[in-house]
Amino acid sequence: MTQPIVSLRDVRRDYALGAERVHALQGVTLAVDRGDYVAIVGPSGCGKSTLLNLIGVIDHPTSGTVEIAGKRVDAMSDREATLFRLHNIGFVFQRFYLMPILSALENVALPMAEAKVARQTRVERAAELLAYVGLGNRERHRPSELSGGEQQRVAIARALANGPSLLLADEPTGELDARTGTEIIALFQRLNLDGTTIIVVTHDEDLAGAARRKIHMRDGKVVDG
């Protein structure tokens, strides 16, 4: 039996909201296997994004343990967490958040520059990734010269830049029309077939339907999946 790539045990996350305490996650235990494609679904405010943030090591749990790729990440320092994300996790967001002054190729190469990959290597890899997401002919274009779907594909290529073991996506089709959303869903499926572990948080039934596994959440708890 292979070790799961994501493993959460009794994870809780509380927030202070003014004088009140909000219990965003209430004892979540979860495992995701390597190579899986998981969709986390549920009503707004049920804790989906909070769960994704904890898996992505951009937030710390109030209690419980989080292990990613066999490593405890719940108590990492900021420096450790930053390095861990750089090499192990790819993020795709609803808004694409590309650097407006950089070209598509430069945007994709950015995480590799941060990881101190040699210039020639990162240019070649960025070009390969852009070709993989179907934007081989748009390398020199700036984000403002690309459509929403194209920008999201650049963001996906950027997320894959350092060869992460896990790809996390938060509402990746949220700002796209139906046709473009379908293209992104197909791209995720292709990525998963090629071996990438994917976890998406979504309200999009089509995107959730394309996943191998669905996790339903309600009121900060995993209720099914």
Partner 1 sequence: MLGVAVAAAMLLDMVMLATGMRESFRQLLLSRGFEIRLAPKGTLPFDTDATIPGVSAITATLRSNPDIREISPVLGASIHIQVGNRDVSGSSLGVDPAVQGDYELLSGSDPATADAIVVNDYFLQQLGARVGDTINVATGYDPQTRTYSGQRKLVITGRVKFIYGATEQSGSAMRRETLETMRGEATRDRASLFMVRVREGADAERVRDWIETEVPNVTAISIATAIAQVDARLSYFRQLAVILGSVSLFVGFLLVTTLVTVSVNERAGEIAVMRAIGVSRTHVVQQIMVEGVAISVAGAVLGLGLGLVTARYLNAILSSFPGLPMAIDFFLFQPVAAWSALGLLILSGIGAGIYPAWRAASLPIAESLRREAIA
Residues interacting with partner 1, by CB under 8 A? Answer: 49-50, 53, 56, 58-59, 78-79, 82-83, 85-87, 90-91, 93-95, 97, 99, 110-111, 114-115, 158-159, 162, 170-171
Question: Cβ closer to partner 1: 99 or 193?
Answer: 99
| Minimum CB distance to partner 1, residue 61 (Å) | 11
Nearer residue to partner 1 within complex by CB, 111 or 181: 111
Contact between 5 and 34 (Cβ < 8 Å): yes
SS3 213: strand
The first and second tokens of residue 203, run together, are: 């309200």
Rounded least distance, CB 53 to partner 1, Å: 4
Single out the residue of 179, 224, 225 nearest to residue 206, CA to CA.
179
Nearest CB to partner 1, comparing residues 33 and 132: 132
Nearer to partner 1, 143 or 149 (CB): 143
Task: In angstroms, give the least distance from the CB of 153 to partner 1.
Answer: 16
Burial of 39 (0-12, 13-18, 19+ CB in 10 A): buried
Cβ atoms 176, 141 nearer than 8 A: no
User: CB 212 → partner 1: shortest distance, Å?
Assistant: 25
